[in-house]
A and B are shown apart, each in its own frame.
Chain A
Amino acid sequence: MSNMHRIQWFDQSIRESRYPNSQALAGQFEISRRQAQRDIEYMENTLRAPLLYVAKHRGYIYEDRTYVLPSLYITEEEKGVLRFLAHRYKQYDYDNADQVRRVAHLLDRFAGGQETELDSRLPSFQANPRLMDHVLRLSNAIREARVTELRCDGEQLAVWPLRLFAHYNTDYLEACCETSGKRRTFRLLQIASVQVTERRFDPAEAERGLPDEPAQAVRKPFTARVRLADAPPGGGTWNGFAARPSVDDPHLYEVDFYDTDAFLQHLTTARWEALLGPKWLQRKLRERCADMLSRIEGGR
């Protein structure tokens, strides 16, 4: 039972002039007197109740009888719901995302503004208490990098939870299986139980175990084999072109370039001893030089 019920009972007793005290509260709800005293202090300090202890009656009254208990009062459990909702709305990025994020901010304030650090995206959510509980516990496990034991489809396994994500309105957990080291995806609704252990895992190691995202195809540079008299002064570059010395010959360099024209122009000005390849580059250079020579000859 939450303290909201106890506070409501206490408030009601004062209004009926029954002068309740911590002993009565403890007796009524079978809690310790210390707990009961904390509830009374909570009323006084947080809910700003004008409580006055009347020694004659050994109980409390309201100094100001117009006082009413705040109508909005959120329990920890309800805060959990709000945190979950706030998180979900924050992740929303479809239509009217700005307005939805404002709602998320508001909900977050109600929930006490604590970041839940969940990593998922969903336009709407299913208010399934078990699912919600799983999401909150798994997100904590992800944040604290704790090994988690799952029971799923009759299987009991220890996993390293990595991230939560949503796809077509279904929540999933991506985790690295501790025994096999393989990445697996679990549907949250299929997870029967979640047990977060004290053991921790190394998130970097878990990520290493994952297969790389398929990399976008990127353009590769052309590579020219050039013999240079001296090592390029730029270290790893030859006037801005990436150059690697060859294993067999210290004077032979493999030079990367993307723009053929720019490199040909560079070859006409820079110092080099031999151009060993590729053939097409030799041909292009030869053609350009022949063209230049014929123009020089033609000009005479």
Chain B
Amino acid sequence: MASVYLDQVRMRRESKSYIDSLHAVLTAAGLFDGPKYLLSGLTGMAFKFTVHERLLPLSVSAYGNWVDEHGAAVDNVGLLTDRDAVRTRYATFRHYQRDAIEWTKRSLDRGIGVIYWIPEFGVIRGYDDEDGVFFVQDGTSGEDQIVLYDNLGLNFTGFWYGEAVADAIEVPLETMALESVRLALDDWTTPHKTLPNTDIGSGRLAYTFMTRALLKGDYDASGARYIIQSYVYARNEIRQYLNDISHLWPELYEAWELYAAIGESFKGWEEADVSALVRAFETAAVLEQRAMEQFLRLSARLSDPKRAVLPRWGKSTPR
């Protein structure tokens, strides 16, 4: 009866839960030694901003199809990951689950934690065959959550997601930085990332959804608080990230100034002061638009084979 417990995995909820989990897994495995904001920026995850029209708390993690979004994110930082995501109502779910139990244990045996949708994202840091359980860290409570092998993937959201990091390669900083701003542009210009649903806006539209809901007053108060906290934290991450890479191209410095200004407009924000929040978001929308124009200028003057060359099978991968 085998058991593994990775003591060195320390997850703390600060950024988006996916980045918190990824950072905890990578640092524990010695695959990344930078600060969390750098990982958040380089993966392009910091730029993701989605808002449900009623400001539901799910907005923070509903930034698109995770397989595609996280795929592009980890690809950009040179990580090879193995992920699985499936709706738990499918008849085949139990087969995927059995397989996932095996590869999760294999990854833990190698000393690498597994990113797991609790919800939100957390890290599987250990298992015990005798009890048939996984130990999951959610980043908020000091104690581990216990998940039976049979319950792996089962949660109220109706879908499961697991991702194990297999290996990492070195990617030049310039390449990662350039692609991260291009990913940011994609998020900014795509109005809905969870089609066919159009109740969640992304990028520019997210600001519109946010201000409209705040003005109408018909919104989920705790969701609004969570979205704003996450938003402000992400803008701070972007500011620090751009500060670190601004030496690469002058446009990044310009963008850094704009994100710093966004941070200023949210200083000391209060949930109760709705009109001030609306003003702050309106200002931020204009500033972020200008930052995106800087990114667009940078992206346009450097070659982009990833987007310029259309694969034979079209934009989506063949399935």
Contacts and interface: CB of A to CB of B under 8 A. Distances in A.
Interface of A: 214, 216-220, 222, 260, 277-280, 284, 287
Interface in B70-121: 88-89, 91, 93-94, 97
B170 interface: no
Given A214-B91, A217-B93, A217-B154, A280 B148 contact: no
B151 A220 contact: yes
Given A220-B148, A220-B150, 7 more contacts: A216-B89, A217-B88, A217-B89, A217-B154, A222-B146, A279-B131, A280-B131
Nearest to A258: B151
Nearest to B88: A217
B273 interface: no
Nearest to A288: B143
Interface string B126-149: 001011010100000001001010
Contact of B146 (A214, A219, A280): A280
Interface of B: 88-89, 91, 93-94, 97, 128, 130-131, 133, 135, 143, 146, 148, 150-151, 153-154
A218 B88 CA distance: 9
Q: Which 4 pairs of residues, A with B, have the shortest CB-CB distance?
A: A214-B91, A278-B131, A220-B150, A219-B154
B154 A222 contact: no
Contacts of A278: 128, 130-131, 133
26 contacts: A216-B88, A216-B89, A217-B88, A217-B89, A217-B93, A217-B94, A217-B97, A217-B153, A217-B154, A218-B154, A219-B151, A219-B154, A220-B148, A222-B146, A260-B146, A277-B131, A278-B128, A278-B130, A278-B133, A279-B128, A279-B131, A280-B128, A280-B133, A280-B146, A284-B143, A287-B143
B148 A222 contact: yes
Contacts of A222: 146, 148
B105 to A, nearest CB: 16
A278 B128 CA distance: 10
A279 B91 CA distance: 32
Contacts of B150: 220
B65 to A, nearest CB: 22
Contacts of B148: 220, 222
B3 to A, nearest CB: 9
Nearest to A218: B154
Contact of B135 (A217, A260, A280): A280
Contacts of A277: 131
Contacts of B93: 217
